[in-house]
Amino acid sequence: MLVINNTIQAGFLSKSHGYGGEIRALLKDNVRLIKKFPSFLFLKINNKLVPFYIEKVEVLNQNTFLIKLEDVGSKEEASLYTGEMFYLENKYCKSANNFDPEVLIHYTVFNQDGISRGIIKDVIDNPGHYLLELDDGSLLPLHNELILEINESEKKIKLIIAEGL
């Protein structure tokens, strides 16, 4: 989980909704709101977190919201922000599992049969789940259902890896 200046990378803006500038906001699986959705969120622009004020929020379910950002008045303007990760202040949300996948960098990945697949070079925060980039350049999905075992002392992780990956 990426934390910058008392904010947490909480989710992403998936797509515009309607013609009035509304955007569907999705919280990451491991993030839960502990207060109502805040009146602003942050987007990373030119490597700086920029606040965007929220005019309206509609809750669709516990992880999905329709939001209307101030000064975004059309579908076209809203589409400029789709696909962007958004950040919230820590006081509004918490991680459900407090697991930072970046600690897995330099771990050796084994499949469910105990066969080594390589060493983790990077963790990519992809909307929906994380991707492990291995030293050979291959990418593997990472989420809770795929983790069989993590051995911190030996820096090993055993995953369920689908055939063909």
- Going along the chain from its start, the domains and CATH numbers come out as 3-95 (2.40.30.60), 101-159 (2.30.30.240)
Q: How far apart are CA 91 and CA 75, in angstroms?
A: 31
Longest dimension (CA), the chain: 53
Q: How far apart are CA 33 and CA 132, in angstroms?
A: 26
The neighbour count for residue 69, using CB atoms within 10 Å, is: 22
How confident is the model over 105-117, as pLDDT tens digits? 999 999 999 999 9
164: its two tokens: 């063909």
Q: Which DSSP state fits 113? A: T
Per-residue pLDDT reduced to its tens digit, 3-58: 456 788 888 999 999 999 999 999 887 787 777 878 889 998 888 889 999 999 99
What is the value of pTM for the model shown?
Answer: 0.56
